[in-house]
Chains A and B, each alone.
Chain A
Amino acid sequence: MSSQALRVDPKTQLFEDDFAANSADLPGAGLSWLDSRRVLAMESFAATGVPTRRMEAWKYTDLAGALDGELEPATLFRADTAATTTDVFADLPGTRVVLMNGFLHYIGGTALTDDIDIVDLTQLSARTPEWVRLYLGTGPTGGGPGLGTASLALMRGGIAVRVRAGAQGLSPLHLRFINPSRSQPLMCHSRVLIVLEEDAQLDLLESHSGVTSEQVLANLGVEFVLKKNARLNQIRVQEEGTHTLHITSLDARVAGGAHYQSLLVNLGAHLSRVDMNVRLEEPLASVGIRAATVLGGEAAADVTTIVDHAAPHTKSRQLFKSVVGGRAKAVSQGRVTVRKGAVKSDSHQMFKALLLAPRAEADAKPELEIFADDVVCGHGTAIGALDEDALFYLRSRGILAAEARQMMVRAFLEDAIGEGTSEAIHDAIWARIDAAMTNVEDVP
């Protein structure tokens, strides 16, 4: 903290001021386990501050530059959510949870069974269940500089979910995040904790949206804890408003035999960054990450992952696909670490981008750190424009230019979206991608 006095950084100051002024009123204030985690998190955040492009992990994404200096902390807001944005997964069954500016707003849909517990993080108290206390804010929050620590230190709301041991065949859990701006620029710091006990399985359908007229910083910290042989299938569609800075810092801890599958569909926001830190902790833990980004205008989207093979016989598969038009920018960074002794680790990363406009940008950065023998680690990168020959072929058959481009974009993204999703989910996602594509095409 000694450097603090020397630094003149109003962006970081914004967070520190919020903490100084409001920490005594934050949810769960006075609970010693939480107070100490918040203080530690704030110290850790202050040590690096709001990331700038001078930091290696943020060299492509200018968060400090994009951040408004006048953000007010969001407060609990009761409003009609139905009218604001399209619910991506409206036609799919499941338990529906709506979070508004980071606050739990609504729980409905399929009735909750005994297999799932949900805790509102605004209601933390001495009676909060043990499992929340055990895990909330204990992950390494991001794995590098970022806003993950701030999302804990300044947490205003969010939810914790636990799926009981052996619970399978549950209807999906929908987490619908709506982050509208109101009359003033807002910052929303919230957390999600999901614990899957041994052999539990969960489908998580996550959407992020919001109509904005002012800047909204949606700063979300996520922790997933997968115990032995658990399976989490996360499908996430991010179509935040045009003024939104969407930052998600996600930590997943994957125990032996457990599998974490994640599909990140990034379609919106002014700037988005998903920092994913996945630790494969025990033998036979595995993770599959697929990111599909479709951007136009001046938007920027960044998916940065760290996959840590901390045990032998662990497996990771990552596929990053970006379609970029206008002057947009898609960044994909993936670091795979294989620790000493993590023999028979098996990892693969593939980065592909399709540039639809001369000023569109895609950056891909694979990184490998291998400290074990007898491992298989591969990666590949391909960035290019639409195949003009193919485009002409389709058009010569009567297919209009826009439709031909759309066919080729679909073909490009299909393996990222298609595999492992049900037809209904697949259709829901494609409906949003098609909508996003029309915006991408609109702006030259």
Chain B
Amino acid sequence: MLEIQDLHVRVDGKEILKGLTLSVPTGEVHAVMGPNGSGKSTLSYTLAGREGYEIVSGKILFNGEDLAPLSSDARAARGVFLAMQYPVEIPGVTTINFLKTALNAQRRARNESELDALRVLKLVREKAKALNVPEEMLRRALNVGFSGGEKKRLEVLQMSLFEPKLAVLDETDSGLDIDALRMIAESVNAMRGPSRTMLVITHYQRLLTYIVPNRIHVLASGRIVKSGGPELALVLEEKGYEHLIGEPA
């Protein structure tokens, strides 16, 4: 269960999240929709523990534990995963080496045994196949020269490799063609389960026809202004955000 209570977050001295309240029961998938600049990425970075995203007040509880004091690596070890809107290019670090290092870092932090290179490769290959990620990509430097779609697929590959307890997907659908979108949706749907909590952040309703969420929340100016069932996506599709922003939730 993810519980965000009256969260105020400041970035570079500017308050971006202004009293955001949201809860996602374990086993559910919720969507957060909102226009550009409404604070979606700020929310996802705050959940992942990025430095510089200062929690001024409010709480983030995950399965009862306060995430605020935990560093981003500690959160990852506890099963928090963020598929980033803009995955970072890291020259000189090969993708496969990165995946192995990350997976073992998480396992080590949880006192689980580390996996050898061969085991990791086998696991990664399995996941890569489902997402149509070519083997050759794994040997290239992390995200360097990857297309937008390749970067997003690699984010989802990581999600299925790390098997997080809380997965946050920040506009994983943006910049994808319809085939890639379907493939990613399939991987995400395959990961739905009674012990996993998911927050799917998107600007467009399109993704939500493939990943049908339990609930949808509309974010505007750093607050949730409306929540509803999956049908809310269609209302937004038809009428846009305009008519919601302005009228209180």
The chain A residues found within 8 Å of chain B, CB to CB, are 387-390, 392-401, 403-404, 407-408, 410-412, 414-415
Contacts and interface: CB of A to CB of B under 8 A. Distances in A.
A398 B50 CA distance: 13
Interface stretch (B85-93, B128-136, B213-221, B223-231): B85-93
Interface string B56-97: 000000000000000111011100011010011111110000
Interface centre among B51, B88, B103 (most CB of A within 10 A): B88
B172 to A, nearest CB: 15
B107 to A, nearest CB: 9
Nearest to B104: A398
B51 A403 contact: no
Given A392-B72, A395-B72, A397-B158, A403 B105 contact: yes
B158 A389 contact: no
Nearest to B158: A397
B175 to A, nearest CB: 18
B109 interface: yes
Contact of A399 (B49, B82, B84, B105): B105
B90 A398 contact: no
B88 A401 contact: no
A392 B102 contact: no
B90 to A, nearest CB: 5
Interface centre among B82, B89, B93, B106 (most CB of A within 10 A): B93
Given A392-B48, A397-B158, 9 more contacts: A395-B72, A396-B82, A397-B102, A397-B106, A398-B106, A400-B73, A407-B93, A407-B101, A410-B93
B73 A398 contact: yes
A401 B158 contact: no
Contacts of B72: 392, 395-396
B92 A399 contact: no
Contact of A396 (B76, B103, B109): B76
A407 B99 CA distance: 12
A392 B45 CA distance: 10
Contacts of A414: 92
A178 to B, nearest CB: 33
B93 A397 contact: no
Nearest to A418: B92
B92 A393 contact: no
Nearest to B143: A393
Contacts, number: 77
Contacts of A410: 92-93
B84 A393 contact: yes
Nearest to A410: B92
12 contacts: A390-B90, A392-B88, A393-B87, A394-B90, A397-B73, A397-B76, A397-B162, A398-B103, A398-B109, A408-B92, A410-B93, A411-B92
Nearest to B92: A411
Nearest to A399: B105
A49 to B, nearest CB: 43
Nearest to A414: B92
Contacts of B71: 395, 401
A401 B93 contact: no
B92 A398 contact: no
Nearest to A403: B105
Contacts of A389: 88
B150 to A, nearest CB: 16
A408 B105 contact: no
B48 A396 contact: yes
Contacts of B101: 399, 403, 407
Nearest to A393: B88
Contacts of A399: 73, 101-102, 105
A392 B49 CA distance: 9
Contacts of B87: 393
A410 B97 CA distance: 12
Contacts of B88: 387, 389-390, 392-393
Nearest to B73: A395
A419 B76 CA distance: 35
Interface centre among A399, A407, A415 (most CB of B within 10 A): A399
A408 B77 contact: no
A428 B82 CA distance: 37
A408 B84 CA distance: 20
A398 B102 contact: yes
Given A403-B101, A407-B101, A396 B49 contact: yes
Contacts of B50: 392, 396
Contact of A398 (B89, B91, B105, B141): B105
Given A395-B73, A398-B73, A401-B71, A411 B105 contact: no
B48 A408 contact: no
A405 to B, nearest CB: 12
A392 B73 CA distance: 9
Contact of B90 (A393, A400, A401, A415): A393
Q: Which 10 A-B pairs have the closest CB atoms?
A: A411-B92, A398-B76, A398-B106, A397-B102, A393-B88, A398-B105, A395-B72, A395-B73, A396-B72, A399-B105
Contact of B102 (A394, A411, A412): A394
Given A392-B51, A399-B105, A408 B90 contact: yes
A404 B72 CA distance: 12
A107 B122 CA distance: 49
Contacts of A404: 73
Interface centre among A388, A390, A396, A399 (most CB of B within 10 A): A396
